[in-house]
Structures are given as structure tokens and as C-alpha cells.
A and B are shown apart, each in its own frame.
Chain A
Amino acid sequence: MSFLELDRVGKRFGPTTVVDDFSLVVRKGEFISFLGPSGCGKTTTLQMIAGFLDPSRGAIRLEGKDLTAVPPAKRGLGIVFQSYALFPHLTAAENVAFGLEMRRVPRAERGERVRATLAMVGLEGFEERYPRRMSGGQQQRVALARALVIRPSVLLLDEPLSNLDAKLREEMQIELRQIQRNLGTTTILVTHDQSEAMSLSDRIVVMSQGRIEQIGTPQETYERPATTFVSQFLGKTNDFAAEIDRGTAPARLIAGSWSAPAPPGVAGPVTISVRPERIGFGEAGLTAAVVTRIFQGNHWLFQCDSECGPAIVIRQNDGTPQPAEGEAVRLTWRTEDMSLRARGSV
């Protein structure tokens, strides 16, 4: 049931490869995020879908039809830009109406759709305002309305929330998700903010240096990161060097003074990844000392110095007494909470 398909898409600028071998199948109505640090090729990929850039290799298909053969003005995609790119000389209503005018939608219907879309993004009564007289959040809503009013087959969002302050950003995230759910518009979001990607998307495409690192649901990418890059980029993580000891039967997985039965099918030196919130303080386990203890309201953040290097531990503030700075502790975790990778793999 592929709706939008990117097939081995690549983009080169001179000798530099910006996007390489990008393949993705997007289902109708899905919310996809391209997540990665700046320069990872996520915006370039979005611009190729939008048609502002031509791919050097590969094909982009929408409902089975080759999209690269269609000029950008005829693709019928809705785009929200990072800077919003509103037309400053037009009012909010005129901005939203622009796309409908280009489609020669009759005046009466145009007015009705502009009103309805502005109402949907919570901007009733702002029709006659000019963008300069609106706040960042309101401009953002106008940009969203302008992109949605043309009923786009795909909505492309290029870091749309990065210019808003933290509180407003959270509000807009929730609202964006609701609007997208209600309309069922297939949406692609480009972002470098992992929490934004996780709270909004059905699936996340984690990118680094022009390549796809992992495609998966937010939970999959967070809990079972495919590569070290993904585990580091999506939230905090602890990486411990470990060995498999085949001398004993059954074989054991050993990291410092922590050990567990080795899972089948793994051999040699490995890296254990454990999320800070999945580590507890126990009677046995990795020997460590608390270096700093930071109180963060609903949780405590511990920075520890362990046998296998620095470790971060997050504990819920559930009322139980917590170890003090300088105290010796043992770190422990359940085997199902960790992920294993052969050491040396990226």
C-alpha cells in the first residue's frame, strides 16, 4: 500500500554526496519524520520531494507515478518552511487564499475554505492581519493553513517549530498531531529535535551523513537502536564494553562485575546499550560511585563513574531515599532492557 515511494534516491553537489541510497515507502495518512543532525541530508531529501532540487539518482513516485517528471508548481504538495516564508504584503486570509487562486477555485468557495482552514488552526478573527503584526506562533499557523487549504497529497514540514519557544512548541506539536490525524494528510516532518520526532511521528527515519541509519516506530528506534549513532542521537544512553565468556556453561555476558546469561547467537566483544532510566541501584552489579546527583523535580539524574566508564542513571522521584554524591553503588538492569551490538560496528 505504498503512497509515496523514494527508491534509492541520491543527491550529489559536485564531489560531495549529500544524500545516498535513500529508500523509503510511505503509506497513505502516515506521519513520517526525517530526524538527524544538521547536514545529514534530511532537508535536501525534503527539497527533492518538493521539487526544488532534482535527485542525482533514483526515483520518487507518488501513487505509482514518477514525481520527478512533474514541475514543483504542479506537484500539489503543501510545504511549511522553517522561516514560514509568508507573503508579508498580503493579509493572513490572502496568504491562505493564494494557493486556491492559483488553482482557479471560484471566489465564494475560496472564501469559505480560507475561513474554515484558518478556524481549524485556531485563527478566527485574524483574517485581515498582516504577518508582521502576528506572533511567531500565529505566523506558524498561517503557514500551516496556507499549506493545508490546497488539500495537498503530501504535507512537507521543514523544521516548522524550531523558531518557537519551548512551551509554544509543545502546544503546537499536540495541535499539529491532532490536525494531521483529523485530516489524514500524509505528512513528512524534517527535524533535528528527537523529542519532536518521537511525539509526532508514526515512523522515524534516522539519518546521518546522507544515509538512513534506521527506519522504525518511535518506540523501536528508542528501545532497539540499530546503530550506535541512533542510540546516541535518540535520548541519552549508556554504552558499556562487554565480553562473552564461553568458558562456562551456559556462556555468560560479562561487563565488569555485572554478568548475565549470554543470549544465543552472539559472540566476541560486544557493546551493551542501556537507557539511563532502565538502570537501577541494587545489591549486585556494575561497581560505580555517584559523582554528581541532580534533582530535576519529577526525577533524579545521577552521573556515575563505573568500572566500564561514565554512566548516567535516571531514577523517578517516587519518595524512596536515593544515594548521595560520593556513595558507592552497584548498577543493575534487566537483560531485556539492553541492546547488544558487536563492538566496532557503527
Chain B
Amino acid sequence: MSAMVDTAPAHPVAPARDEGRASAPWALAAPALMLFLGVLVIPLAMTVLLSFHDWGQYKGIEPVLILKNWHEIATDPYYLEMFGRTFRIALLTTLITAVLGAPEAYILNRMAGPWKSFFLLVILGPLLISVVARTLGWALLFGGNNGLVNKLLMSLGLIDAPLPFMFTETGVVVALAHVMMPFMVLSVWAALQRLDPQIENAATSLGAGSFTIMRRIIMPQIMPGVLAGAIIVFSLSASAFATPAIIGGRRLKVAATLAYDEFLNTLNWPLGAAVAVLLLVALVLIVVGSNALIERRYAEVFR
């Protein structure tokens, strides 16, 4: 009621000012819009265009529009294998972070004040360190005969040969899960924050045991958080470069490292662009698709 009274005097002068107001949002958004166009849309369009250009060992890039690169990607099973590996690694990483990260977030949420902030820092700590440094840490622990853990296990006589870690998919997945864990924990933690603090007591008073409370009450409510975290982790893992480059190396290529090599080693920019564009399109489709599914599933409950 009072709001209506407040805005009423503004009406008589409205027509003259409305025109100015209509263009104001555009003017205000212009700087950000220009930046968006300049650094994202235009380079992206150029990359897409580049993927249709021709390339030869001696002639370099020829600005023509042909489907050669796309044809090569579609027919050569090497690319299928490489993309399969990329998404397999991303999926496994997502599963591991979900299975470990969700309980981690729950325990973190139950902790008392000072411990909570301490362990939150421990969980977020990896984000403050360069991905390269973190990944090289894994290499120091498991890298061949000289890896710290391998040395220890071998000198204890528990294993005869060093554990295969470097240049294996397992190694890439483990290192990636470590790098991605904070994103999952934070996402689930945000969902836990929205939980009614009395909800467990309510379920207890109705006769539910702790396992039932977890399965029937807590899990369904933090599921949107887990799924949101999964989308973040999946897309970051599928497009990750540093970790697969260090652990996987040249032998175990994923989409990002392959695109890098095409650009900087083979100098076949058009093919690298095609790989990059395909990765982008596949990721966008997967993320948008799963997001739509999640929204539809939880619309009734959380909107």
C-alpha cells in the first residue's frame, strides 16, 4: 500500500523520462558487453571459423571453408578413443569427488566453530596453490622408482615393482579428483547450509534412526548441491590441461592436451581448433542437458 503511494507522484513526468530510461540499461551495460564481445565472442567465432580452414605441411593455413578437419575427426578412431578417454576421466573424477566430497562436506558442517574454519581452510587450501605444483606433488610421491611412496612400499617389501601411476588413467583421475575436490565440497556445503537445523531432530522425534535420516532426509535435500558440484567438476575435468599434461604426458592424450599439441607442436591450427570446438560443444550440451534435467526434477521442491 505504502509503495503505491510512494511511486504515484512519479507518474505525471513519466513520458519524457521513459525514453532516456529505456536506453540507459544499454548504455550502462555497454562496457561489459564490449569486453564480452572482444575477448570471448569474437575469438570464439574465429576459432570456429579456423576449424574449417585447410592446412598443409608446406602451405600452412589456407583460409578456405572445407570440412577436412571435421571429416578427419569423425573418421579416425584415434579421436574417438581420445574423446572417450577425456570423458571417462571426467566422469570417474566426478564420481570420486561426489562419493568423498559429500560426506566430507557433511562432517565439516557438523564440526564446532574453530575446527570448522580450520578444516575449511584445509579443504580450500589446494585452491591457493598452483595446479602445476599440486600435480607435481603427486609425481614426487608416485613417480616411478624414485617416488617417495613407491620407495617406501618397495623397501617394506610390500610391492616388487613401483605402482603404475604416472602416464596412467588412474593417475590422472586421482590427481584430478584431488584438484577438483574443493568445488564439490563447497557446492554440497552450500546445500547443507540451507538445511533446517532442526530437521534431524524432527526426523528423530518421529522415530527415524541415523541411517534412515541420512538416506531419507539429508541425502535428498543435498542432492541438488551434489549435482551442481558434479556439473562444475565434470566440465572442469573434461577441459583440464595441466594435470593430464603432467601425469598423462604425451602418451595419454586428452582433448585439451591434444588441442595444445596441434597448435604448438604440429602447428596444425585448424585441426587443433576443431578439437577445441568439439570439446566445447560437447561440454555445453552435456552441462545444459543435465542442468535442464536437474531443474525439472527439483522444480517442485526447491522453487
Contact of B212 among A50, A77, A102, A147 (CB under 8 A): A102
Number of A residues near B (Cβ < 8 Å) is 30
Q: A85-B201, A150-B207 are in contact. List 16 more A-B contacts (CB 8 A).
A: A52-B201, A52-B204, A73-B204, A79-B201, A79-B205, A81-B198, A81-B202, A83-B196, A85-B198, A86-B202, A87-B199, A87-B217, A88-B302, A89-B221, A99-B207, A132-B301
Give the chain A neighbours of B301 by CB distance below 8 A: 88-89, 130, 132
Contacts of A130 in B (CB 8 A): 300-301
Interface residues of B in 198-238 (CB under 8 A from A): 198-199, 201-209, 212, 216-217, 220-221
B166-214 contacts to A (CB < 8 Å): 196-199, 201-209, 212
Complex interface: chain A residues within 8 A of B212 (CB):
102
Cα distance, A81 to B203, chains bound together (Å): 11
Interface residue A29 (Cβ < 8 Å from any Cβ of B): no
Is A240 among interface residues, defined by CB-CB distance under 8 A?
Answer: no
- A285 at interface by CB-CB < 8 Å: no
Please, which residue of chain A has its CB at the minimum distance from the CB of B194? A88
Chain A residues within an 8 Å CB radius of B216: 98
Tell whether, in the assembled complex, residue B203 and residue A98 are in contact, meaning their CB atoms are under 8 Å apart: yes
Given contacts A89-B220, A102-B212, contact A72 B204 (CB under 8 A): yes
Cα–Cα distance between A50 and B206 once the two chains are bound (Å): 11
Partner of A73 from the list B198, B208, B217, B300 (CB cut-off 8 Å) is B208
Residue ID in chain B nearest A99 by CB atoms: B206
| A89 to B219 CA separation, bound complex (whole angstroms) | 10
Q: Evaluate whether A81 and B204 lie within 8 angstroms (CB atoms) in the complex, with A73-B209, A88-B302 already known.
A: no
A-B pairs, top 7 by smallest CB distance, nearest first, are A102-B207, A99-B206, A85-B202, A85-B198, A79-B205, A89-B220, A81-B198
- A residues within 8 A CB of B199? 85, 87
Q: Output the least CB separation between B119 and chain A (Å).
A: 23
Q: Which residues of A contact B201 (CB under 8 A)?
A: 50, 52, 72, 79, 81, 85
In the bound complex, CA of A158 to CA of B128 (Å): 44
List A75-105 residues whose CB lies under 8 Å from chain B.
75-79, 81-89, 98-99, 102-103
User: Min CB distance, A19 to chain B, in Å?
Assistant: 18
5 contacts between A and B (CB under 8 A): A50-B205, A72-B201, A79-B201, A81-B201, A102-B208
Shortest Cβ distance from residue A73 to the other chain B in the assembled complex, whole angstroms: 5
Contact A77 B217 (CB under 8 A): no
- Name A119-178 residues within 8 Å CB distance of B: 130, 132-133, 146-147, 150
